[in-house]
Amino acid sequence: MIKHYDLKQDHPKWVNDIFLSELDLISKSDYQLKYNYTLKELKLDKMLSLNVIVDEVENDLICFSGVQINSWPYNIARLSSRHYFNKKYASTYLRKRVNWTMCVTEQIKTAIDNGIEQMFFSTELMSEKMFILQCKNSTKAINTILPNVKLIPLDGLYDTTGKRKHWQKIGQLVLNDNPWLFPLEKKG
């Protein structure tokens, strides 16, 4: 049985233990982005929530991601920030879009509850065609829970740090068909 927890809210100690154990495994792996998954680089102080999905039967972490704020001088939030999927479960739950149906829907609700209605997600290691498909499939997954949401792929690359020019593809979240001007710097 899989279950969702928010590590920024009350949760059982064993969930935190599983999370920290997975961070340790990531640090020892050959995962290309493993340096983003330390307690320091997760930037928990800038997360409104850090959502984890666990397999309670196997006592394993399936995936995690958070909703990040305060990295920009705007009232916007980054969804699915520091997204990670355990390889053991990727073939089963990645195809079911479990991050988008369980983690991101909760992140959207949390952001809205905190007065934030401008949200986006970003990615780097993905072709344009795959990114457009991800926005489409992620919208479908989110819409199973929140029908008033669209992820719109923006053209080009945007600086997601505001500091050191880290260019990524952006999927802009649009609520209730209310578009908004994306404020982060566009490359070129």
pTM over the 0.85 mark: yes
Domains of the chain in start order, with CATH, are 2-175 (3.40.630.30)
Show contacts of 172-180: CB within 8 Å, 24+ apart.
Answer: 172/120, 173/79, 173/108, 173/118, 173/119, 173/120, 173/121, 173/149, 174/149, 174/150, 175/112, 175/117, 175/148, 175/149, 176/148, 177/148, 177/150, 178/117, 179/152, 180/118
163-176: pLDDT as tens digits: 778 899 999 999 99
127-137: pLDDT as tens digits: 999 999 999 99
* SS3 call for 54: strand
